[in-house]
A and B are shown apart, each in its own frame.
Chain A
Amino acid sequence: MDIVLMFRFEIILAALILAIFIMSLRGFDTNVKCFLNTMNVLLLLNFIAGWLPLSEGSYFSDFFRTNGLIVLQKNIINLGLLLISLTSYAWLEQSKYRLEFYLLMLSSIFGVYVMLSSGHILMLYLGLEMSTIPIAAMSNFNLKEQRSSEAGIKLILSSAFSTGIMLFGISLLYGAVGNLSFASVIANLHPNALTLFAFAFILAGFAFKMSIVPFHLWTADVYEGSPIAVTNFLSVISKGSVIFVFLTVLYSLFGGLKEAWLLGISIVSILSMTVGNLFALRQQNAKRFLAFSSIAQVGFVLVGITAASTIGSASVVYFVLIYLLSNIAAFGVISAVADSTGSESLQSFKGLYKSNPFYALIMAVALFSLAGVPPIAGFFGKLFLLTAGMKSGLYVLLGFAGVNLVLSLYNYLRVVKYMFIDDNEAHLAPLNRNRQLTTALYICLIGLIAIGFVTPIYQYIDSLCRF
């Protein structure tokens, strides 16, 4: 029984995937609304099931492990999955391949679970690949659009490239340590040229997945080409889960090399924040804009990671939760606007507050959260990251973070200005609203306002991160 509880997430997900297969054989997906709503209900149940009590432990000679923090991370991913499914309702209703969409999305999530629970580098690698490859197929979902295929190809090529680099790093690490289970790597890792090289290559591999500068070049194109739901998934689930794993990799796996990685992480953090914000300055496409903004956000996450202690990992997990809600809300509004106007340009947000106050307010809250403006949760998330970053006394890094707070405020205020201050010549009609999208946006809104004030949330995360 214990083992069933321990593998609960994976078992439920596998059952869901199986259920989709059966539904497709039965032709159940012909009734579109019924199918989509069933999926949403199932995902809701999946999310709720994640909160059942669970013991810690590890199986298969430490290949698979689980603890409170990992469960929380999976729950956050599950929340994101549910919200993305809700926000993409309108798009899936039109799409011919909704069944495949869910199939691919859930397979990718399965990879995420494996990756989060891994206790061995091979398992980690397996999970990472399993989570990436389905996304390449998903980003190709607008079959008639060339950009979409381009996005799929770009994603698969760059991900294969990064995998190669990472595998090279892993093999170097194997050469240095002689065993790839986390426990023995931690025990036998000593700072020398070989392990430093191994670390650098593994870091580069992760940097690709998290789109950290200078490995970010694929991001904007892939985000722009993919359907909005997939972009959302990429920016939130895929990125968030890799950040979670990266925490483990840095803190426990390479904890012995802290002196070395502190410098490296600081440099890529400064680069990511600055490049992300500077490139976002003049973007007119909403998806490209959020692509660069997410690059900058990861830069901020790295500032927090440098703390290498409880506050570091607690603030990162807390921030990812907030980032997930903000980005899903922003993409939800973008998809509603894009559905009605047929354009993904930021210009089409002009005068949104006058025609659609609901969407404009949600978008403003999401953007303020990303910019780190009180009283929205993003303020706390971002400042806790900076608080964590200051722990190592890196004044220069903090100085750059401060400058980037200003730059990013400019970026987000630009969109706020379009929505609230500017007038639109072509008056925007009230946009379509479906119940699913509205529900998801309300969940995001309540979350973004409440997370900063409901203090047990941070305390809970903090208690899980104590080590």
Chain B
Amino acid sequence: MDILSLLLVFPVITALGILVAKKDKVVRWTALSGSIVQLFLAIGITAYYVSLRNAGETGQMLLESSYEWFAPLQIYFSAAVDGISLVMILMTAMVVVAGILVSWKIGKQVKEFFFLILLLSLSAYGFFISTNLFVMFFFLELAVIPKYLLIGVWGSGRKDYSAMKLALMLMFGSALVFIGILGLFYFTGAQTWDFQEIAKMHIPIETQRILYILLFTGFGVFTAMFPFHTWAPDGHSSAPTAASMFLAGISMKLGGYGCLRVATYLLPDAAQELSWIFIITASIAIIYGAFATMMQKDLKYMNAYSSVSHCGFVILGIAMLTKAAVTGAVMQMVSHGIMTALFFASIGMIYDRAHTRQADELGGMLKQMPFIGSAFIISGLCSLGLPGFSGFVSEMTVFVGSWERTGVFYRVATILACASIVVTAVYILRAVGFAIWGTVTNKEYLKFKDATWSERSAAVLLTLGILIIGLAPFLFIHLIDADTTSIVSRFIAVVGK
């Protein structure tokens, strides 16, 4: 048993434990302890990876392992990690623990809820560690139905509509991805699904063009890339709190990771030629998302649209193809994952008490519930890019990287993206002002109690994540430095210009 497979074994054991557990209390504690073990495992693997690197391991991906699955079709369950996948795994583990803590009081069908949550986390871990494109696709698809059921059964508002829309759009994205990876399988001359093998192939540019568009768009649907973003606001706002955290925090990152690892890394020539398309869609998403957020009254819709805007930075960074921009994109994925999880968590805590998410109906939350109010403010400030928090570091890196691309087109895109920060400040400060500051408008609100122990620990954990990236970004950059270099070295021509 190798160490990476443990990342999948623990969620499976936890999920089975949940299935056999009889009492709700046992279910909760099983889920929590399983996910905490998983978090420590992720930290341990990272430490081990760093020690291997320090010892002079130079392989592109370490801790490789491979098991036969469908050998006649070249499908092997092969896993390996590099810095980029490790930071994603760490982020996932954090969000899972926080998500389980936040859903502590869920009352309906507890067993099924936690089972689906664990299935969702399993799919993320599997996606980030697998190096076989088919297996990667397997895990990408594995997440779709749990998302559908979580929104459909435990959601609120227009949940049927949102759940179906989400499932269908994600399935559409997966169909594009699958046709794309089939193309990689057959037409690169390799007849292999292993992306490290495919990376060594020289793929004709005509094939690259088709596959790049298919794969980038397909994964882009998962990242809520414009114009395929429409599932995100509806899905996020109808989902129960933990599912929103997972959707925005983890699932959208599967798409970003795929855009980088599969579409851009494997098809470098097409990426240089065609990435302008996605720079345009990303710029539109950033601006459109920010303005759409300003029009929202519902806090969850607000955060969902701002996620569209923030994930635009991820796409922008990846499409800019410079080292700083790609580094920024990876940081933004992790930073946004944690930050948006905290945001959704605090919105969920407010909603559980006030039963409304309309910003103008709330007010004075900070006075009544100082802890929850502070968590909301922290995530808001991180979202608008205040120095000291992770949002600032990652967005700044994306801007610096984008600015390295000369030429009017790239400059305009960069400036537009920077300008969106101002809009972000407007809606964040307005939401904080309406909902959190001010006087208590409703007598009912005076009865509210502050966060419980589980909510507190979730918020503290996520805040810690935000602060670590924000205050010590070098730790993070050190971890992914070699990998972004090796990805970007495939576009030397661009950086040289």
Contact = CB atoms under 8 A, between A and B. Distances in A.
Contacts of A380: 70
A458 B69 CA distance: 10
B412 interface: no
Q: Which 3 A-B pairs have the closest CB atoms?
A: A402-B175, A462-B72, A390-B182
Contact of A413 (B72, B148, B179, B185): B148
Interface in A365-392: 368, 373-375, 379-380, 383-384, 386-387, 390-391
Interface stretch (A102-110, A254-262, A404-412): A404-412
B171 A399 contact: no
A455 to B, nearest CB: 6
A164 interface: no
Contacts of A157: none
Interface string B455-473: 0000000000000000000
B219 to A, nearest CB: 15
B153 interface: yes
Chain B contact surface mostly: helix
B239 interface: no
Contacts of B171: 405-406, 409
A374 B138 contact: yes
A393 interface: yes
29 contacts: A310-B72, A311-B72, A314-B72, A368-B145, A374-B141, A375-B138, A375-B142, A379-B141, A383-B134, A384-B73, A386-B179, A398-B179, A398-B182, A401-B175, A403-B172, A403-B175, A409-B168, A410-B168, A413-B148, A416-B148, A416-B149, A417-B163, A420-B152, A420-B153, A421-B159, A455-B68, A458-B72, A458-B73, A459-B72
Interface in B164-193: 164, 167-168, 171-172, 174-176, 178-179, 182-183, 185-187
A379 B123 CA distance: 15
Interface in A418-467: 420-421, 455, 458-459, 462
Given A373-B141, A455-B69, A417 B179 contact: no
B141 A405 contact: no
Contacts of B71: 455, 459
B144 interface: yes
A405 B72 contact: no
Interface string B51-89: 000000000000000001111110000000000000000
B160 interface: yes
A419 to B, nearest CB: 11
Given A368-B145, A373-B144, A390-B183, 11 more contacts: A374-B141, A379-B141, A383-B137, A384-B70, A386-B182, A406-B175, A410-B168, A417-B160, A421-B153, A421-B159, A421-B163
A362 to B, nearest CB: 16
Contacts of B167: 409, 413
B147 to A, nearest CB: 12
A383 B178 contact: yes
B73 A387 contact: yes
A379 B153 contact: no
B149 A420 contact: yes
B73 A311 contact: yes
Which of A402, A420, A459 has the largest number of chain B CB atoms within 10 A?
A: A402
Contacts of A314: 72
Given A421-B153, A455-B69, A390 B142 contact: no
A368 to B, nearest CB: 7
Contacts of B187: 393
Contacts of A375: 138, 142
A461 to B, nearest CB: 9
Given A374-B138, A459-B71, A391 B186 contact: yes
Contact of B164 (A368, A395, A413, A459): A413
Nearest to B69: A455
Interface of A: 310-311, 314, 368, 373-375, 379-380, 383-384, 386-387, 390-391, 393, 395, 398-399, 401-403, 405-406, 409-410, 413, 416-417, 420-421, 455, 458-459, 462
B164 A410 contact: yes
Contacts of A401: 175
Contacts of A420: 149, 152-153
A38 to B, nearest CB: 37
Contacts of B148: 413, 416
A462 B141 CA distance: 25
Nearest to A457: B70
A314 B72 CA distance: 10
Contacts of A458: 70, 72-73
Contacts of B178: 383, 386, 402
Contacts of A421: 152-153, 159-160, 163
Contacts of A459: 70-72
Contacts of B138: 374-375, 379
A224 to B, nearest CB: 26
Contacts of B141: 373-374, 379
B186 A390 contact: yes
A398 B137 CA distance: 17
A373 B138 CA distance: 9
A381 B119 CA distance: 21
B106 to A, nearest CB: 16
A396 B160 CA distance: 32
Which of B70, B149, B210 has the largest number of chain A CB atoms within 10 A?
A: B70
Interface string B120-160: 00000000000000100111011011001100110000011
A182 to B, nearest CB: 26
Contact of A393 (B160, B168, B186): B186
Contacts of A462: 72
A417 B72 contact: no
Contacts of B210: 395
B21 to A, nearest CB: 16
A68 to B, nearest CB: 15
Interface string B217-245: 00000000000000000000000000000
Which of B73, B142, B144 has the largest number of chain A CB atoms within 10 A?
A: B73
A413 B176 CA distance: 20
A310 to B, nearest CB: 8
Contacts of B142: 374-375
Contacts of A387: 73, 182, 185
Nearest to A392: B186
B11 to A, nearest CB: 13
Contacts of B69: 455
B185 A402 contact: no
Nearest to A389: B182
Nearest to B149: A420
A368 B145 CA distance: 9
A464 B243 CA distance: 45
A384 B134 CA distance: 10
Contacts of B176: 402
Contacts of A383: 134, 137, 178
B457 to A, nearest CB: 31
A420 B148 CA distance: 11
A12 B33 CA distance: 56
Nearest to A372: B141
A413 B153 CA distance: 13
B152 A455 contact: no
Contacts of B73: 311, 384, 387, 458
Contact of B175 (A373, A374, A391, A405): A405
B153 A390 contact: no
Contacts of B174: 405
B164 A390 contact: no
Given A421-B152, A455-B69, A458-B72, A390 B175 contact: no
A56 B148 CA distance: 49
A399 B70 contact: no
Given A374-B141, A455-B68, A417 B152 contact: yes
B218 to A, nearest CB: 9
A108 B172 CA distance: 41
A421 B109 CA distance: 12
Contacts of B159: 421
B463 to A, nearest CB: 35
